[in-house]
Structure 1
C-alpha cells in the first residue's frame, strides 16, 4: 500500500509540473517575460552598418564588459574584469565609418573576485594613484562588412603605444549599436612586467559593449 501511495504522489507531482510548464509555454509566464517577448519581436535588428543612424554615441556601462586574460603558470588563463568603463564615438552611415572613438577605464575598478588582491593590483602594479585612468583613442577605423579594424593608441601606466582592435559589429536597433572586440599586447612594454614569465607577458583584452545614440 505504501508503494502504491508513493507512486500516486509521484504521478500527481509530475502531472502538476507538466501542467504548469504547459501553461508557461502558452504565454502564462510573468508579465516581464511577456514584455520581453513582445519587445524582441519589434527589434528590427540590422547588421548593415550603413543602415544605422548617424551621430554621436556613448558607451552603455550597464551592457559593457572589459576583461583581460593572461596565462597563469601556463595552467589557466587568469581573468581580470574592469567594472568602470566610459567612452563614445561618432558615426557616419553615408560612408559607414566611425571616428573619434575614446574609451576610458578606471584601473581601481579591477575585479578578480578577491578584493585584497584587487587593491594590490590597482595600487602596486597599475599605480592608480599616479595613473588614474587607462585610455584608448582611435586613429583610424576601417569597416569591412561586419568587421571593424580599429587602430589607435593605448595609454596605460603612463606609456603610450599603438594597439589594434579586431571588432565584430553585432548590429543596430532602436538607437543602439553592439560590438565584440579583441586585442593583444605585452604588459611589460607598458612598464607592468612583474612576475613574467610565471604570469604571462601577453595580455588579451576582450570587450563586449553597446553604445547608445545621444
Structure 2
C-alpha cells in the first residue's frame, strides 16, 4: 500500500509540471484564406485558396504561446475567373504541378496590443521559403451553440512580395503589383 501511495504521489507531482497543449483546427465553412493584388495600378483583384488546413497549438487561453501552421493546395486558387485561375496555376506563376502546396509555420508570436500580435514564421511558396511577419488579431472564444464546441476566432493580415517567391516574374508592376495583401479569417475548434 505504501508503494502505491508513493507512486501516486510521484505521478501527481510530475503531472503538475506538465504543460498540456491544446490543438485547435480550422472550421472550414467559417474560415477563408484570401489575397489581393493590384492590376494595372488601378484595380484590386481578390482571390482565395479554397482548400487549406490550419491549426493552432497552445497551452494558454489567450493563445500568447500559440504555434500557427497552415497548408494550402495551390490548385484550389479561385479568383472567380477560370482562365485567370488556370494561368495562375501554370509555370508563369505558382506552377501548381511542381509546387502543389504552400506552407506556413510560425516561429514567434509577440504581443502588439490587446488581443493583437506580430506573427512571424516561415512561408514556403513556389519552392522558396522565407520568413514573413503578419498581423494577428485574436477575436475571442465562445461555445458554438450549434456544435457545443469551444470556438476561437482569428484574423491575419499582412503583405508579402511575390518577387520574394519568384511568382510571375514575367509580369512586372504595374501590370500586377509586387505587393500581395493577405487576409485570412478563421474559426478554430478544439
* 2-structure distance, mates of 1:172, 1:190: 35
On the 8 A contact 1:89/1:98 being kept in 2, the answer is no
For residues 98-138 of structure 1, the C-alpha deviation after alignment (integer angstroms, 9 at most, x for no partner) is 33311011110111111122122112311111111001100
Q: Deviations over 1:40-90 (max 9, x none)?
A: xxxxxxxxxxxxx96110111211111111111111111111111102121
Match of 1:92 among 25, 34, 59: 59
The whole-number CA distance in structure 2 between the counterparts of 1:95 and 1:62 is 23
Distance 1:137 1:69, change over 3 A: same
Which one of the candidate residues 115, 118, 127 is aligned to 1:146? Answer: 115
Separation in 1, partners of 2:124, 2:21: 28
- Structure with a larger share of its residues in helix: 1
Aligned to 2:182: 205
- Counterpart secondary structure, 2:163: helix
TM-score (norm 2): 0.79
What is the CA–CA distance in structure 2 between the aligned matches of 1:189 and 1:66, rounded to whole Å? 20
Q: What is aligned with 1:190?
A: 165
- Tell me what 2:70 maps to: 103
Helix, strand or coil at the partner of 2:65: strand
Deviation (angstroms), 1:96: 4.7
- Deviations for 1:126-161, whole angstroms, at most 9, x for unmatched residues? 111111100110001124421021100110000001
Where does structure 1 differ by over 4 angstroms across 4 or more consecutive aligned residues?
A: none
Gaps of 5+ in 2: 1-19, 144-149
Instruction: Structure 1: give runs of 5+ residues left out of the alignment.
Output: 1-52
- From the CA coordinates, give the structure whose radius of gyration is larger: 1
**Matches of 2:21 and 2:105, distance apart in 1:** 20
Q: Distance in 2 between matches of 1:152 and 1:166?
A: 11
Equivalence map 1:22-37=2 (5 Å): none
Please, what is the CA RMSD of the aligned residues? 1.8
TM-score normalized by structure 1?
Answer: 0.71
Q: Output the CA distance in 1 between the equivalents of 2:73 and 2:62.
A: 33
Higher strand fraction: Structure 1 or Structure 2? 2
Question: Does the C-alpha gap of structure 1 residues 80 and 96 become closer, same or farther in structure 2, counting only changes over 3 Å?
Answer: closer
Contact 1:67–1:80 (CA under 8 A) maintained in structure 2? yes
In 2, Cα distance between equivalents of 1:96 and 1:68: 24
Distance 1:115 1:54, change over 3 A: same
